[in-house]
Structure 1
Amino acid sequence: MNLYTTELRRLAKRRFIRYLTLAGLLVLVAVAVGMFLTNQKIGPAQIAEAERAAERDYQQSIAMTEQHRQACERAKGAGNAAAENFPEDCAVIQPPPREAFQSDWHLPASFDFREEFPRTITTLTAVLALVAFVGGASFVGAEWSTGGMMNLLLWRPQRIRVLLTKLGALLSALFGVAVLTGALWTAAFWATGSLRGSTTGMTSGTWQSIGLTGLRGLTLILVAGVLGFGLASLGRHTALALGGVLGVMVVGQFGLGVVMAMAKVKFIESWLLPTYLLAWMDKKVTLQDWDACQVSYTGDCQPLTKDITWQNSSVLLAVALVVVLGGAIWSMRRRDIT
């Protein structure tokens, strides 16, 4: 029997992985349904209602301003201590102009596919990457902890080939699930834009940008699966991968952030993993340091900035892949059976 086909079947039959994938998909369904229900298409009726709401706010502002001016005049006339709370000339108390009350503030939420859909790809990627990491760790970790790996090596005594075939089966499944889910995700939000918002402004360049964002998301999902698989293979148990990530997030991220904040290190976010993951998806993240400034030619004080780009993130991901997967292969090769 073909080893690759066997591993695919083994992966599909694992109940934990099936339930994990189902839970992730249910989360995505809840997000998509929530976005559909909380948005609506804006028409003449909604615009007219927003104009009326803005006018009501303006009239209320006029009434409140008039009350405030009358209170000022009474305090000035009485000459009591309350007069200190008002300006010298009560006539300067005037309501804001009508233009300050914008009707856009009162419009209901409406889903603009062109502007908002790219951000939803990050949500899709985060959920599927979590599923990929835990699923990848469980797939090989359970084999080691139950002795299934050693039984398999009696049938196929080539450790590296068995390990990489398992990884290939995992990546194939992740690729299929991610592509299918991405297509359904796009269709769901296109329907949301069509029925509860707007789909205008979609050009070939916009679709290309969305496609590249989706490709980066797919890459991150596959990398998460490889890292989970590699860490669990190194430790011969699923718990090592999950515990390692928990340690990195709690100690390496939270603890490191606290220490750096106490030391007043500039651009603390540049040392934290989520910044690089976000930069990978958004192509660039600009950090700002408000404790220092650069004086512009107008005399304004602008915060210092630092850009984290997707190229920086790609180096970090590549190093993590080489270290974890290389370590897992080296660990298997040390006791290779040929």
Structure 2
Amino acid sequence: MSLFRTELRRLVKRRFTRYMTLLGLLVLAAVVVGVFFTNQKIDAGQLAKAERQADQQYQEQIRWSEQERVNCEQAKTAGTPNDGGRYPDDCSMITPPSRDQIQAEWFLPSTFNFRKTFDETLVPFAAILALVGFVVGASFVGAEWSTGGMMNLLLWRPKRLTVLLTKLAALLTGILAVTLPAAVLWFAGFWAVASFRGSTEKMTSGASQSFALTGVRGVALVLVLTTIGFALASLGRHTAMALGGVVALMVVGQFGLGILLSMASVKFAEAWLLPTYALAWMTKKVTLQDWNACNATYSGECKPDTMDITWQQSSVLFSIGLVVILGAALWTMRRRDIS
């Protein structure tokens, strides 16, 4: 019997795999349902109502500005022109905003615009399935070590690296078999949300290609984290090694490091945190800002220093991490005693 088919069958038959996968899919379904019920389709009546509310807001701003101008003049007459810094030296500077600055969109209910918003939904999609893949991958090989199944298997197939890599191939095949249909259903679900609770207008082939590329990056992230969970559990020969390692990394290495960098006023502290690179991988670029620096413009505006984290930089980081962790797992599998 083929070792690959045997491992794939073992993966599918495991109750933990089924329950964890089902839980992940239920969470994804809950997200789609939640977005459906929290959005509305905008009609002409709602647009007209929003315009009226914007006009009312504009009139209120005019009345407020006129009253504040009168109060400013009274304060100047009373000999307290600034009133503790409340008013400017020239009361004529107190003016209402222009009508076009008060937008009717502010008064519209939430609506789902597929072209503008769907790209953002791929981030939680990849994050949820990556978590499922990490836990399932760690459990799949960790249970084999803790129950003695790995030792029994190596009696049948004594080639250690072949056994471990075949297990990994079966795991990635199973995760991919779940992720790809889930991605199709995710797209269809949000298309339905946009059709009934939003808009699908202005969709072009370019936008569809952009969504597809983001989806491919999401699938790659799921497979990478699944492999890392598998490799960590193989290194520690227990599921807890992977789960404990990631908890320690996130709590101590990320939250603790973030607090430390913030207290030390390190410039672009987010550049040292792994979630920043995961987000950059999915969104193609994350721009960090340092508000402690001020770059004055000709108009007197203060702009912060910026730093871009790109998906290319993220790919290098994830590739190195994957090679190191998986390489260590393969090396220990070959060198350590199986007992």
| TM-score, normalised by the number of residues in structure 1 | 0.91
User: Deviations along 1:78-104, whole A, 9 cap, x unmatched?
Assistant: x59799466788777654443343211
Question: Offset at 1:39?
Answer: 1.1
User: Deviations along 1:140-193, whole A, 9 cap, x unmatched?
Assistant: 001111111112222222221111111011000111111000000000011111
Alpha-carbon distance between aligned partners in 1 of 2:51 and 2:220, rounded to the nearest angstrom: 46
Match of residue 9 from structure 1: 9
Question: Offset at 1:38?
Answer: 1.1
Question: Offset at 1:247?
Answer: 1.1
User: Deviations along 1:125-146, whole A, 9 cap, x unmatched?
Assistant: 0000000001100000011111
Question: What secondary structure does 2:220 align onto?
Answer: helix
Contact kept in structure 2, 1:159 and 1:336, CA below 8 Å: no
Q: Tell whether 2:247 aligns with 1:246.
A: yes
User: Deviations along 1:209-242, whole A, 9 cap, x unmatched?
Assistant: 1111111111000001100000000000000001
Number of residue pairs matched by the alignment: 336
Question: What secondary structure does 1:40 align onto?
Answer: coil
Question: What secondary structure does 1:264 align onto?
Answer: coil
Calculate the aligned-residue CA RMSD, in Å: 2.5
* Change in CA separation of 1:59 and 1:219 when aligned onto 2, cut-off 3 Å: same
Match of residue 26 from structure 1: 26
Deviates more, 1:279-288 or 1:293-302: 293-302
* Change in CA separation of 1:113 and 1:86 when aligned onto 2, cut-off 3 Å: closer
Question: Offset at 1:56?
Answer: 2.6
Contact kept in structure 2, 1:158 and 1:336, CA below 8 Å: no
Which sections of structure 1, spanning at least 5 residues, go unmatched?
A: none
Match of residue 60 from structure 1: 60
* Change in CA separation of 1:93 and 1:214 when aligned onto 2, cut-off 3 Å: closer
* Change in CA separation of 1:227 and 1:57 when aligned onto 2, cut-off 3 Å: same
Amino acid at match of 1:307: D
Contact kept in structure 1, 2:69 and 2:92, CA below 8 Å: yes
Alpha-carbon distance between aligned partners in 1 of 2:23 and 2:202, rounded to the nearest angstrom: 34
Alpha-carbon distance between aligned partners in 2 of 1:260 and 1:307, rounded to the nearest angstrom: 18
Contact kept in structure 1, 2:81 and 2:89, CA below 8 Å: no
* Change in CA separation of 1:86 and 1:239 when aligned onto 2, cut-off 3 Å: closer
Match of residue 99 from structure 1: 100
Match of residue 262 from structure 1: 263
| TM-score, normalised by the number of residues in structure 2 | 0.90
Question: What secondary structure does 1:289 align onto?
Answer: strand
Alpha-carbon distance between aligned partners in 2 of 1:68 and 1:161, rounded to the nearest angstrom: 79
Alpha-carbon distance between aligned partners in 2 of 1:282 and 1:76, rounded to the nearest angstrom: 53
Amino acid at match of 1:193: A
Match of residue 112 from structure 1: 113
Contact kept in structure 1, 2:50 and 2:105, CA below 8 Å: yes
* Change in CA separation of 1:300 and 1:131 when aligned onto 2, cut-off 3 Å: same
* Percent of aligned pairs with the same amino acid: 61
Match of residue 142 from structure 1: 143
Contact kept in structure 2, 1:132 and 1:225, CA below 8 Å: yes
Amino acid at match of 1:232: A
Which sections of structure 2, spanning at least 5 residues, go unmatched?
A: none
Question: What secondary structure does 2:172 align onto?
Answer: helix
Alpha-carbon distance between aligned partners in 1 of 2:64 and 2:256, rounded to the nearest angstrom: 50
Question: Offset at 1:60?
Answer: 3.4
Match of residue 49 from structure 2: 49
User: Deviations along 1:37-58, whole A, 9 cap, x unmatched?
Assistant: 1111111111011112222323
User: Deviations along 1:273-317, whole A, 9 cap, x unmatched?
Assistant: 011111111111111222223455666443222211111111111
Match of residue 153 from structure 1: 154
Alpha-carbon distance between aligned partners in 2 of 1:143 and 1:11, rounded to the nearest angstrom: 11
Match of residue 227 from structure 2: 226
Alpha-carbon distance between aligned partners in 2 of 1:83 and 1:234, rounded to the nearest angstrom: 69
Deviates more, 1:122-131 or 1:198-207: 198-207
Question: Offset at 1:259?
Answer: 2.3
* Change in CA separation of 1:86 and 1:260 when aligned onto 2, cut-off 3 Å: closer
